Amino acid sequence: MPPRVVIGAGRPNKLPALVCEYTIRKHCPDAEVVHTYDRPFLDGTSRRRHRDRWEEPCGWLDAGTPLGTMFSFARHMVPEICGHEGRAIYLDADMILFASVQELWDMPMGGAWVLRVPGQFAVAVLDCEALEPYPIRRLLREFSLPALQQAKHLPRERVATSIPPQWNHTDRYAEGTKLLHYTNMRTQPWVEPGHRGGGQWFSALAEAVASGAISEETVREEVRDGKAAWVAATWPQPHVLRALEATV
């Protein structure tokens, strides 16, 4: 079975998610890639609207708890998305890859249910069958946001920090980087010009458009004018089109 990758993204993150997918397939053409930006709960266009997409109430969520991103919970949806079968790799949308996800796919689980990078669950390999007792609706009812972000609902012995740190280099490309993760929402290359690691992202976007993996029309559809502060901190901004036009 080829590597199966679920990219976590809310609706405003569609373009970064597509660029992430391009870099996955560039290094692992056989990878199966699944997106979340168009799924219920994650396809709203405001931070509040998506809270109403669940059939069961989540008291702490409804109380106005701030979310880091609209896809803060996407990683916990992966087992259900995959039908609780086999394993899956989870990646955030705000990433580009420089190595094949086959390396992650082939890592032995060693009895763990989740393999992760040090300090984060932004890059993880999950045993979807073992995680079946933890559906997202149960997690949102029973656990706080900080607990979920650190996967404290899982037995400690079932979580292994065994993915090398090169698979989560943050905000700057370095020698040996296998995955570059743009962690600051307000300075990500697609929302703010001048990011010190932005060149790699724009190069990946230009390659994706030149190859036909992403249409220029899609890029134009995803760019917003940024008048609202929240939009400006999430959706790609007009400088993305200018950079692309300068490249192609």
Q: What does the pLDDT look like over 127-143, one tens digit per residue?
A: 999 999 988 778 877 77
Task: Identify which of 38-42, 61-65, 117-121, 141-145 has the greatest average pLDDT.
Answer: 117-121
| Inside any domain, residue 179 | no
Confidence of residue 41 (pLDDT cuts 50, 70, 90): low
41 and 118 fall within a common domain:
yes
Percent of the chain past pLDDT 70, that is, above it, reads 85
| Inside any domain, residue 178 | no
Alpha carbons 222 and 91: distance in angstroms, whole number: 21
* Structure-token match 């007792």, residue found: 133
Alpha carbons 101 and 162: distance in angstroms, whole number: 15
pLDDT at 80 over 80: yes
19 and 142 fall within a common domain:
yes
pLDDT at 52 over 80: no
153 and 203 fall within a common domain:
no
Structurally, the chain folds into a number of domains equal to 2
CA atoms within 13 A on the CB side of 215: 3
Q: Tokens for 118, please give them.
A: 């040090």
| Inside any domain, residue 23 | yes
pLDDT of residue 14: 94
| Helical segments of 82-211, H only | 102-105, 136-142, 145-149, 198-211
Total-model pTM: 0.89
129 and 242 fall within a common domain:
no
| Inside any domain, residue 129 | yes
Question: For the residues 4-32, what does the mean pLDDT come to?
Answer: 96
91 and 28 fall within a common domain:
yes
